[in-house]
Chains A and B, each alone.
Chain A
């Protein structure tokens, strides 16, 4: 197993010094052994967590680790053998940001709960968030406190984990504008807060970024960023990189102009703001910009790849995930769909929507860009998570970025250059016939090309993608990505749509339904090196929750009918499940409580695009309601009800 546990190349000694006995091996060794024996290693690793996680032994193991944390200014998330957290310093038991670490692995090295004992998991405590709307946030845990960002009206709760039953420590209620609910495309969710030093920072739906004092909940600063009058909202979880809070807007369905802003974490002032359409100076494209593919080279492509003026309403929002590689000093994030959905109203490649930016977090200057969906046809927002991995590809070590993209392909991209190394379908895609690695462009299937006045049938995947925002997890133990996948296809009729400021700008009538096989969701383990799926679990309903992987050889995910499930990471067998009463669309996390034990936490509360039918009480008789999603989840009202509850699980004290 050690082969896959590697710290960042620059700090091998620190990684080695984290005191985990035989677990942490220096990078130089790991790379050599890595891919050739991946499968073998995975098997060989089984015994390790058992050893670490057993009873009192576990506690004793933890202490030195905590000490080493205190000693080191930086704790490396070595497990992720990825770009490690430099400035945020989570203990290995904390969960300081939605993706846990800058590499976005959503992996916890805690191993108290294992595949063998998971069946004993019990509820430790619960907490009601008081809003029965889609709970997409990841709980944030640090310093014995858990921070929960609730959906609109975006109350932030701090729970004191040191007390029995985790009572409320403080809560913060922003005075968010109610009207923002009218311009939030897919339920008024919030994807979580972020911890930065002594601040907890999050966004409200109406587009205000707020920093609070972690101890008191006092508002330290707040910066309004979005203008709901033109349809902008903010639902994403911010990320803090080098003292800068990165926030992107949502509103791709309202013809807004997407942007990513960096705020100073200390006082909230805007350091830079990069738009995703328009002239290069707005997009922060300068001399540093070195895209890999020719189609991204040229000046002012953000104007020239659009019909005149269309870039002003061109979307390309950034409401998803940001990753950061401290070594390259680059942030990576995707840009959303171009507006409107009806592609005929925006001929051209529609730069810089539907793609992936690598930027310098200090200046915001773009380093490279890769476009997953030039001239996006089907609302393939490219905002999904970017998992930063160091893999050996064709015998050579590569710093890659793994991207399970909405269009159904899993991309491995060289994160230094932006070159696509491979792109493999993890879903029966028929909207595109593969990706041309030479040009980097997808081969759109001409049979599925939409045209105003024509209905195109059975397009796979849907607008919500083979996988939407709900992030996958990467386990270095297995070396696999765990991808919560949807299995939906759709009929699509493009229609001409009018841009009326502040109203939806969509232009497609869509009707979604279960894809091949008749099931609607799948949870898959994907081997990025072998470039194929290892195992798949089929779910009747789409999976809208994130994934969590732990060192206990477990992967967690939730279902839309309320089950939190724990699977054996190696073979996908179900080890434990719990019915939470409302569909789970949140992001499960694992943390070490102040008592030293491992806890699994998740927010239950159905909603989001897929769950809107339940929380907004949509009418399933209309097959096109919620942009067609209602037809795919027409039975959901009978399977789950709205909710908004935190569930925390732990092994019984025994």
Chain B
């Protein structure tokens, strides 16, 4: 399809060119490697967050490919159970903890401040810290894996399988500590995003005018804040059980094996929505832009997001129907699991209505969204089936569930994510991805995905359990497994197309311009890629789709350009409140992250690690937070 030349974006930046040199100096990082280490620019950090997340995605994908190869035929001797168990544990762990959640937050770290029309994320040093912690955690678990100390008990690490009786050595400790790393990182980002979205939106961007992507990230961040402590608690219990012999999960001494499952799934179920809700925001952005109309039923959509986030906390027991909890309680969770389908139904309807009543342009991002519909709706319907206790008892922990959650997670999150990449790539890099390659990417992915995962529904129904490293010959599973493996290679090829597309675009991609898609939201109101200070002047917003207004965007002035100042606005109406100075680049978030890493890894081996490791961490944090002369009077008078 011929690429439509982007309509010239509203010529916003020109209004604010005054003082941009000084702004550039003020917001610039130190040159070179040192600047790379010390930066607090949300775009640089977001970018490396995204890159790291994608690296983990590819790594975990390679593991999946290895597993599918092992399962291509029955009684395959490619690998033994120990290797296979580590593979699927690493696949799940990496996908859930190192890819899905971080990448959603990473996109948000990049896009949210731009969409809010502000100059940087709130708490930028925390942002840098969060990235380092995430990186070190991810690198740690992968090095451990490479050294044969990878987790072997699945991404869910059920006790007692994960306690020291059945998982000797340090494998599970590394896993549990990796949780701690990623949770610290995720919580930090969540706090930043909440603060950014609530306090730094451009004047006039009331909650009612707030783009759905911001809404979805706001809800996601709150969910992170409520869900993650549960799993951190669980994994800390696990580590203390394994390291110092506490009895949290020991049924023989007052503990309970099911305590782990409750704590884990109280996080684990919202986790799915933590991955899924940002994707809903991305879809809304894409649908809006490519349908060239505001998303239908904005209020209903917001309510749908809020109810999704709320109900997500009331479903965790549907992962535990087979554990023999009281039947009446299970019925409640069935009902709750069913109810959560309603907000999804509302959203699907609204998007279809938006596309149907808009003037859609079927560019690659929108293709991925259409793919999302086809896949996610199926996944959602199998989700409804799983919500039913009796049916769940049959298909729980079978390939039916594998199919279901890949439909939900890949369909519901990865397809929109790819759409989002195609959508925001020009903003990130200033260059455009090839549409042709994009379509290849989409169709290979779409076909490959369905070929891989659709047969798994049937496999589950005819009795194939999950997490098996091999299966007998005469079960009737051979053909479907082989098909699934072929599909997996199709997905791999599609991923390769994506990588090639990205590399090619980076080298010789078509320059994108500020707003290649003629999108309505504020991130497109600045250069591609945006300058360090994002906006020379802060735009004032008067609608939900500000860039589609015929008028030029009015701009605010009054922020100092000789220091890193942003405008804080009120949480609901986005009325300007005060100006706020943001900290300068610093290496101390990095040192703090290193100190924290030392503490975490040390505490895998000795509880004294917590004690002695706290000292360098305290030192690093103290220096980080030591008030510098620059910071004095960070809060200035209410502007204008």
| Interface: A453 (CB within 8 A) | yes
CB distance from B528 to the nearest CB of A (A): 63
A503-522 CB contacts (< 8 Å) to partner B: 509
| Interface: B253 (CB within 8 A) | yes
User: Given the complex of chains A and B, what is the CA–CA distance between A455 and B247 in angstroms?
Assistant: 13
User: Given the complex of chains A and B, what is the CA–CA distance between A509 and B252 in angstroms?
Assistant: 10
User: Given the complex of chains A and B, what is the CA–CA distance between A93 and B251 in angstroms?
Assistant: 58
User: Given the complex of chains A and B, what is the CA–CA distance between A207 and B254 in angstroms?
Assistant: 43
B250-275 CB contacts (< 8 Å) to partner A: 251-254
A488-516 CB contacts (< 8 Å) to partner B: 493, 509
User: Given the complex of chains A and B, what is the CA–CA distance between A493 and B251 in angstroms?
Assistant: 10
- Chain B residues lying within 8 Å of A454, measured Cβ to Cβ, are 251-252
CB distance from A166 to the nearest CB of B (A): 53
User: Given the complex of chains A and B, what is the CA–CA distance between A228 and B184 in angstroms?
Assistant: 61
Contact code string B223-259 (vs A, CB < 8 Å = 1, else 0): 0000000000000000000000000000111100000
CB distance from A654 to the nearest CB of B (A): 61
User: Given the complex of chains A and B, what is the CA–CA distance between A455 and B256 in angstroms?
Assistant: 12
CB distance from B541 to the nearest CB of A (A): 62
User: Given the complex of chains A and B, what is the CA–CA distance between A453 and B253 in angstroms?
Assistant: 10
User: Given the complex of chains A and B, what is the CA–CA distance between A453 and B160 in angstroms?
Assistant: 13
- Chain A residues lying within 8 Å of B252, measured Cβ to Cβ, are 453-455, 493, 509
Which A-chain residue is minimally distant from B251 (CB atoms)? A453
- Chain A residues lying within 8 Å of B253, measured Cβ to Cβ, are 455
Inter-chain contact total with CB atoms closer than 8 Å: 10
- Chain B residues lying within 8 Å of A453, measured Cβ to Cβ, are 251-252
CB distance from A456 to the nearest CB of B (A): 10
User: Given the complex of chains A and B, what is the CA–CA distance between A453 and B251 in angstroms?
Assistant: 7
Task: Say which size band chain A's interface belongs to.
Answer: under 10
User: Given the complex of chains A and B, what is the CA–CA distance between A493 and B253 in angstroms?
Assistant: 9
CB distance from A224 to the nearest CB of B (A): 42
Task: Say which size band chain B's interface belongs to.
Answer: under 10
Q: Interface SS of chain B: helix, strand, loop or mixed?
A: helix
CB distance from A634 to the nearest CB of B (A): 18
User: Given the complex of chains A and B, what is the CA–CA distance between A1 and B252 in angstroms?
Assistant: 55
User: Given the complex of chains A and B, what is the CA–CA distance between A454 and B252 in angstroms?
Assistant: 6
- Chain B residues lying within 8 Å of A493, measured Cβ to Cβ, are 252
- Chain A residues lying within 8 Å of B251, measured Cβ to Cβ, are 453-455
Which of B251, B252, B254 has the largest count of A CB atoms less than 10 A from its CB? B252
User: Given the complex of chains A and B, what is the CA–CA distance between A455 and B251 in angstroms?
Assistant: 8
Contact code string A438-481 (vs B, CB < 8 Å = 1, else 0): 00000000000000011100000000000000000000000000
User: Given the complex of chains A and B, what is the CA–CA distance between A539 and B573 in angstroms?
Assistant: 77
Which B-chain residue is minimally distant from A509 (CB atoms)? B252
CB distance from A445 to the nearest CB of B (A): 20
Contact code string A67-99 (vs B, CB < 8 Å = 1, else 0): 000000000000000000000000000000000
User: Given the complex of chains A and B, what is the CA–CA distance between A81 and B207 in angstroms?
Assistant: 99
Which B-chain residue is minimally distant from A493 (CB atoms)? B252
CB distance from B254 to the nearest CB of A (A): 8
B580-635 CB contacts (< 8 Å) to partner A: none
Which B-chain residue is minimally distant from A455 (CB atoms)? B252
- Chain B residues lying within 8 Å of A509, measured Cβ to Cβ, are 252
- Chain B residues lying within 8 Å of A455, measured Cβ to Cβ, are 251-254
User: Given the complex of chains A and B, what is the CA–CA distance between A573 and B252 in angstroms?
Assistant: 44
User: Given the complex of chains A and B, what is the CA–CA distance between A106 and B584 in angstroms?
Assistant: 92
User: Given the complex of chains A and B, what is the CA–CA distance between A454 and B251 in angstroms?
Assistant: 7
User: Given the complex of chains A and B, what is the CA–CA distance between A453 and B252 in angstroms?
Assistant: 6
Which A-chain residue is minimally distant from B254 (CB atoms)? A455
User: Given the complex of chains A and B, what is the CA–CA distance between A246 and B252 in angstroms?
Assistant: 43
User: Given the complex of chains A and B, what is the CA–CA distance between A653 and B479 in angstroms?
Assistant: 103
User: Given the complex of chains A and B, what is the CA–CA distance between A35 and B237 in angstroms?
Assistant: 64
- Chain A residues lying within 8 Å of B254, measured Cβ to Cβ, are 455
User: Given the complex of chains A and B, what is the CA–CA distance between A455 and B252 in angstroms?
Assistant: 5
User: Given the complex of chains A and B, what is the CA–CA distance between A509 and B253 in angstroms?
Assistant: 11
User: Given the complex of chains A and B, what is the CA–CA distance between A453 and B250 in angstroms?
Assistant: 10
Contact code string A400-442 (vs B, CB < 8 Å = 1, else 0): 0000000000000000000000000000000000000000000
CB distance from B324 to the nearest CB of A (A): 14
Which B-chain residue is minimally distant from A491 (CB atoms)? B253
Which A-chain residue is minimally distant from B250 (CB atoms)? A455
CB distance from A452 to the nearest CB of B (A): 10
User: Given the complex of chains A and B, what is the CA–CA distance between A607 and B252 in angstroms?
Assistant: 30
User: Given the complex of chains A and B, what is the CA–CA distance between A598 and B329 in angstroms?
Assistant: 76
CB distance from A120 to the nearest CB of B (A): 53
User: Given the complex of chains A and B, what is the CA–CA distance between A509 and B251 in angstroms?
Assistant: 14
A233-267 CB contacts (< 8 Å) to partner B: none
User: Given the complex of chains A and B, what is the CA–CA distance between A455 and B254 in angstroms?
Assistant: 8
Which B-chain residue is minimally distant from A511 (CB atoms)? B253
CB distance from B120 to the nearest CB of A (A): 56
CB distance from B252 to the nearest CB of A (A): 5
CB distance from A389 to the nearest CB of B (A): 44
User: Given the complex of chains A and B, what is the CA–CA distance between A493 and B254 in angstroms?
Assistant: 12
Which B-chain residue is minimally distant from A453 (CB atoms)? B251
User: Given the complex of chains A and B, what is the CA–CA distance between A454 and B253 in angstroms?
Assistant: 8
CB distance from B161 to the nearest CB of A (A): 15
CB distance from B469 to the nearest CB of A (A): 28
User: Given the complex of chains A and B, what is the CA–CA distance between A162 and B251 in angstroms?
Assistant: 64
CB distance from B571 to the nearest CB of A (A): 52
CB distance from B16 to the nearest CB of A (A): 70
CB distance from A437 to the nearest CB of B (A): 37
User: Given the complex of chains A and B, what is the CA–CA distance between A453 and B255 in angstroms?
Assistant: 12
Contact code string B333-352 (vs A, CB < 8 Å = 1, else 0): 00000000000000000000
CB distance from A447 to the nearest CB of B (A): 16
CB distance from A165 to the nearest CB of B (A): 56
User: Given the complex of chains A and B, what is the CA–CA distance between A493 and B250 in angstroms?
Assistant: 12
CB distance from A510 to the nearest CB of B (A): 12
User: Given the complex of chains A and B, what is the CA–CA distance between A484 and B382 in angstroms?
Assistant: 69
A137-195 CB contacts (< 8 Å) to partner B: none
Which of A453, A455, A509 has the largest count of B CB atoms less than 10 A from its CB? A455
User: Given the complex of chains A and B, what is the CA–CA distance between A631 and B252 in angstroms?
Assistant: 18
CB distance from B346 to the nearest CB of A (A): 47
Which B-chain residue is minimally distant from A495 (CB atoms)? B252
CB distance from A478 to the nearest CB of B (A): 46
User: Given the complex of chains A and B, what is the CA–CA distance between A561 and B619 in angstroms?
Assistant: 55
User: Given the complex of chains A and B, what is the CA–CA distance between A453 and B257 in angstroms?
Assistant: 12
CB distance from B123 to the nearest CB of A (A): 48
Contact code string A311-340 (vs B, CB < 8 Å = 1, else 0): 000000000000000000000000000000
User: Given the complex of chains A and B, what is the CA–CA distance between A371 and B67 in angstroms?
Assistant: 61
User: Given the complex of chains A and B, what is the CA–CA distance between A356 and B251 in angstroms?
Assistant: 37
CB distance from B511 to the nearest CB of A (A): 68
CB distance from A449 to the nearest CB of B (A): 16
CB distance from B408 to the nearest CB of A (A): 36
CB distance from A454 to the nearest CB of B (A): 7
CB distance from B529 to the nearest CB of A (A): 60
User: Given the complex of chains A and B, what is the CA–CA distance between A454 and B255 in angstroms?
Assistant: 11
User: Given the complex of chains A and B, what is the CA–CA distance between A8 and B251 in angstroms?
Assistant: 58
User: Given the complex of chains A and B, what is the CA–CA distance between A590 and B77 in angstroms?
Assistant: 79
CB distance from A484 to the nearest CB of B (A): 32
User: Given the complex of chains A and B, what is the CA–CA distance between A454 and B257 in angstroms?
Assistant: 12
B500-534 CB contacts (< 8 Å) to partner A: none
Which B-chain residue is minimally distant from A457 (CB atoms)? B254
User: Given the complex of chains A and B, what is the CA–CA distance between A612 and B403 in angstroms?
Assistant: 60
CB distance from A570 to the nearest CB of B (A): 47
User: Given the complex of chains A and B, what is the CA–CA distance between A400 and B54 in angstroms?
Assistant: 86
User: Given the complex of chains A and B, what is the CA–CA distance between A455 and B255 in angstroms?
Assistant: 11
B343-393 CB contacts (< 8 Å) to partner A: none
CB distance from A293 to the nearest CB of B (A): 36
User: Given the complex of chains A and B, what is the CA–CA distance between A455 and B250 in angstroms?
Assistant: 10
A366-398 CB contacts (< 8 Å) to partner B: none
* Interface residues, chain A, with chain B CB atoms under 8 Å away: 453-455, 493, 509
If A453-B251, A455-B254 are given as contacts, then 6 extra A-B residue pairs at C-beta distance below 8 Å, sorted by A number, are A453-B252, A454-B251, A455-B251, A455-B252, A455-B253, A493-B252
What are 10 contact pairs spanning A and B, CB under 8 A?
Answer: A453-B251, A453-B252, A454-B251, A454-B252, A455-B251, A455-B252, A455-B253, A455-B254, A493-B252, A509-B252
* Interface residues, chain B, with chain A CB atoms under 8 Å away: 251-254
4 nearest A-B pairs in the assembled complex, by CB-CB distance: A455-B252, A493-B252, A455-B253, A453-B251
